Amino acid sequence: MVILVNSQTKVVVQGITGKEGSFHTKQMLEYGTNVVAGVTPGKGGTKFLDSIPVYDTVKQAVSEKDANTSIIFVPAPFAKDAMLESINAGLKLVITITEHIPPLDTWKAVSHAKRKGVTLIGPNCPGVISPGLAKVGIMPARVFIKGNVGVVSRSGTLTYEVAYRLTQSGIGQSTVVGIGGDPIVGTTFTQILELFERDQDTKAVVMIGEIGGDAEERAAEYIGANMSKPVVAYIAGVTAPQGKRMGHAGAIISGTEGTAQAKIDALKSVGVKVASVPNEIPKLVKEALSR
């Protein structure tokens, strides 16, 4: 069954004619993703690669092409409006790749998505891939293979690294989700874990966290109370200095809050196996699947 995206996903690309949008749309098409339309205001009536119709609005793409998912490559100052437009057009899944979006803009979009029952992934994320079925994002497709281990991560780069190590060990992935590294994101670890728990194609889950915030601690609470499937975790930032932001806007610790050790302790307390380095993850996953 996998989660979020599959062969039936019909994608509209917002910002399809821009540098990033056009490059990654080509990559998604090469992977076999069903990209049905693009949106660039003022360029409606044109075509991308002579085959993908470009519209002025998302509403037109939904009406004409029955799109059900959008991926956003719109520059940060306009990203909030792009997210709101997709939400209001009736799409069920909105994936926002754009980074450097002001937190207030993100909060407004996330709040509206919740009111409308829309799943918003990101912002500042690599997207979602269900290997062999659909890639709606910017991840390098070659590092993923189809299988039964779900992956959810705050970090794009670590997503690729861990997936590659799993693949090298012969462990395929059901769906891989990058939720984004900003302080405010549309979908949390807990929400993705819930989807994996219900997914028949997922037999175990890898969760990749990092310092800052309490998302991993909340995930630990959910795992302890609700997860029947084994979870393996890795938390980046063990050696990060206090008070210094590390990479992501959400990766900052204050006092004892948001530290890697606090997250590791919370996860271990509910039976999650936590890798000390990414190299350990495949071994822990194989052990978990063999039980």
Residues assigned a catalytic role: 248
Contact in structure between 95 and 38 (CB atoms under 8 Å): no
98 is in an annotated binding site: yes
> Is position 40 annotated in a ligand binding site?
no
Q: How far apart are CA 249 and CA 185, in angstroms?
A: 11
184 marked as part of a ligand binding site: no
17 is in an annotated binding site: yes
Residues near 193 by beta carbon (within 8 Å), at least 6 away in sequence: 152, 205, 207, 219, 222, 223, 226, 227, 231
Q: Is 20 annotated as a binding residue?
A: yes
Joined tokens for residue 237? 């930032």
The verdict on whether residue 210 carries a ligand-binding annotation is: no
Instruction: Judge whether 99 is annotated as a binding position.
Output: yes
C-alpha dihedral (129, 134, 140, 141), degrees to nearest 10: 110
Can you say whether residue 243 is alpha, beta or left, with left for phi > 0 and alpha for psi between -120 and 50 degrees?
left
Helices 58-65/76-88 angle, 10° precision: 40
Report whether 43 belongs to an annotated binding site. Answer: yes
Answer yes or no: is 19 a known binding residue.
Answer: yes
Annotated binding site: 17-20, 43, 97-99, 160
Annotated binding site for CoA: 17-20, 43, 97-99
Annotated binding site for substrate: 160
